[in-house]
Amino acid sequence: MAPVEDDTTYADETVDDTYASTNYGNSTVTSGKKENPILKKCFVSCESDALGSVHRAWAVTVLFMVLFFIVAIIEANQISDDEEVSNALCIASYWSAFLHLTFAILGTFVLKRFSTAFAVGCFLGATVVISQQNLFMFAAFIKYQHGSVFGNVIFADLAFALFGLLTGETERGGVSCGWTAGIG
């Protein structure tokens, strides 16, 4: 097998040295990145079971998405009851609820059953898009004065929490928790 651009050959064995460090006998190949000891301690469980760590992180995200779905439906109903309100935010809330429920189902399917490199790549791309939508939903609803102001703040805060969760999972992709290390 010929070495690929990101591969290195050691003693007739081709290895992918794109990620952090790999030990080969007495020598160590490093990527040049500094390791953060706090993050290393936080993600020590990821090293032994990367796939399990991905599934646990996704389970927490799905719980937040289901909660977001419920809150989004309640928020859309409260907004639609107010006659002074534009229908745009009501539609955005319903659409966001639908997307999060669909994404939770399809993401679970991709991670559990259909985890090819292409499917996981599309899944991570969709994660970035939906996380940005959550940031926009946060910005739209945080200071919105129609409907229930308390409900608007809860909806906005939950959208921001999902933004952080989805962005954090994308940032850890392949490095800390091994999104691609044990999948496909």
| 50, 177 contact by CB (below 8 A) | yes
Contacts of residue 95, defined as CB under 8 A and 6 or more positions apart, other chains included, come to none
How sure is the predictor about 129, in pLDDT bands with cuts at 50, 70 and 90? very high
pLDDT in tens, 35-79: 767 767 666 666 677 777 778 888 888 999 999 999 999 988 888
Closest CA to 169 of 65, 41, 14, 24: 65
Question: In a 10 Å sphere around its CB, with 0-12 CB exposed, 13-18 middle and 19+ buried, how is residue 159 labelled?
Answer: buried
pLDDT in tens, 10-30: 556 655 545 544 444 544 445
How sure is the predictor about 2, in pLDDT bands with cuts at 50, 70 and 90? low
How sure is the predictor about 163, in pLDDT bands with cuts at 50, 70 and 90? very high
Question: Which ranges of the chain would DSSP assign to H, the alpha helix?
Answer: 37-42, 44-48, 50-81, 87-112, 117-141, 149-171
pLDDT in tens, 80-111: 887 777 788 889 899 999 999 999 999 999 98
Q: Which position has the higher pLDDT, 168 or 62?
A: 62
